[in-house]
Amino acid sequence: MVAAAGFCLAAGFALAAAPARVVVISPHNAAIRYEFGRAFARWHQRQFGEPAEAEWRTVGGTSDAIKFVLSEFAAKPEGIGIDVFFGGGPEPCLRLAEAGLLARCKLPEEVLAGVPSELLGARVYDPDYRWYGAALSSFGVLENLRVQRLASLPSARRWIDLGDPRRFGWVGAGDPRRSGSMSNMYEAFLQAYGWKEGWVWLTRLAGNVDRFDRQSSVTARRVTLGEAACGLAIDFYGLTQVAAAGRKSMRFILPEDFVAVSVDGIALLKGAPHAATARRFIRFVMDEPGQKLWLLPKGHPEGPQRFSIERMSVRPALYERYAGVSNVSPPPFRKRQSFRYDPSLAQLRRDVLGDLFGAILVDAHPELRRAWRAVIRRGAQPEAIRELGAPPIAEAQAIEWARGRWRDAAFRNRKRIEWQVWAMRKYRRIAAGRSAAAVSPAKRGS
């Protein structure tokens, strides 16, 4: 009896000591997962006097994570055993909120008091408190200064400089179908310059790309290694590479022609099995202890301990408090916003544009490069450049299909193949010196 009682008492202590859990699905990299998991456990112990831990689920990039969550909810509509979606830009939260898969999670007023509802034209949190912007993301250009000097290439001061013929083969970029950050960058081009002009510049940029990487983090590393002279990068990847290689070798810039800012979201999923701990995790991320992890340098007592993160906080007061300490500069709130990025429009047409980007820029990339090289050799005449960059459909058509027909897998696959064939034929004709006008895109409404 005594032995049995002792066993039960020991089992009771073991159960009592088991930490609270929050299960988080995230496309964030290992550095962010480690630092936020470590700091949350310490914060929870200090705040509530009991242990807690974050369990991470990773299934790939942003698109993979969204597809996984949607497919799981299709099979288990009351809950999927995961508490929080964290990262991947604004689109995951917008898409999951639209599908009714997020739970309301209003933070305490003292936490919200330091977080503006809008920054630089980007909404920071949902008016119904279904999601929050955990960090700000800006898109820029990462430059390898040594490679650019050796190749006699000027600095890219504007986005459109990436389409300069002198940069043929020297630009790095990711596949927008697989990278959420790259998809957002390409979308920003179309929103900032308009549909027709945006496609012309995207096509020139893609013609200068040496290859499309599966992940945007790979592009940043390749620029650092000198495999590309410059590349598209979000601030986090760009600033991390600058911190690792040094400012004499690397530079990350926000181009002058426009600045696209969006939020990196966090949200409580419907049917969260550990809802109480999940709400605490979201509070931690949005309050000062979590926000300092983005902003402060590695080794700072209140910052990350093992990895540099170097991202922009959504709490403006922290920039003033840690001026001269943080490597994230200049403060993003002092940067003039040249246009307002529309995440709702991006979310609406993301799938259509992802397939269109893939079909005519990535899948037909060898033919595009040959055509762009031929246009350059002939003097890069404006008419030839416009012909090269003309898309197969109008913007209104893309939006119309996004609202309905793109959910039809057979229709979607047929259009992707038609676009690929159309693009390859056009590029081959241009490379051969013949007008591409005779190559007509497939019937627009079919």
Residues 381-402 have a mean pLDDT of 96
Task: Quote the pLDDT of residue 121.
Answer: 72
Per-residue confidence (pLDDT) for residue 245, from 0 to 100: 87
The arithmetic mean of pLDDT across residues 265-286, rounded, is 98
The pair of three-digit structure tokens given for residue 433, joined into one six-digit string: 């010196």
Measured CA to CA, the distance from residue 84 to residue 86 in angstroms comes to 6
pLDDT tens for 427-442 read 999 999 986 544 445 4
Residues 30-50, mean pLDDT to the nearest whole number: 97
pLDDT confidence band for 232 (50 / 70 / 90): very high
pTM of the model: 0.74
The pLDDT of residue 108: 96
Q: What is the pLDDT of residue 27?
A: 92
Residue-wise pLDDT for 235-256, tens only, equals 888 888 888 888 889 999 888 8
Mind listing the pLDDT tens digit for each residue in 319-343?
989 988 887 765 455 555 557 788 7
The overall average pLDDT reported for the chain is: 89
What are the tens digits of pLDDT across the range 15-26?
455 899 999 999
pLDDT of res. 328: 76
User: What is the structure's pLDDT at 442?
Assistant: 47
Distance CA 296, CA 311 (A): 9
The pLDDT, as a whole number, for residue 362 is 96
Q: How confident is the model at residue 354 (pLDDT cuts 50, 70, 90)?
A: very high
Q: How many residues does the chain have?
A: 446
Mean pLDDT of 294-321: 92
Query: What are the structural domains of the chain?
Result: 18-133+264-330 (3.40.190.10), 349-446 (no CATH)
User: Residue 334 has what pLDDT?
Assistant: 56
**Percent of the chain, pLDDT > 90?**
69
The letter for the amino acid at 372 is W
Which pLDDT belongs to residue 329?
Answer: 62
Residue 309 has pLDDT above 90, yes or no: no
Half-sphere exposure of 147 (CA within 13 A, CB side): 19
- Where b means 16+ CB within 10 Å and e means fewer, 311-323 reads bbbbbbebbeebe
Long-range contacts of 236-241 (CB under 8 A, 24+ apart): 236/137, 236/309, 236/310, 236/311, 237/142, 238/140, 238/141, 238/142, 239/310, 239/311, 239/327, 239/328, 240/308, 240/309, 240/310, 241/142
CA dihedral 90, 93, 94, 95 (to 10 degrees): 120
pLDDT single digits (tens) 159-168: 999 999 999 9
For residue 187, give every residue at least 6 positions away whose Cβ sits within 8 Å of its Cβ, in sequence order, or none.
Answer: 341, 345, 346, 350, 353
pLDDT tens by residue, 399-427: 999 999 999 999 999 999 999 999 999 99
∠ CA 58-171-180, rounded to 5°: 25
Structure tokens at 147: 């490679």
pLDDT at site 14: 45
Q: Say what the pLDDT of residue 128 is.
A: 96
Least confident of 18-22, 72-76, 374-378: 18-22
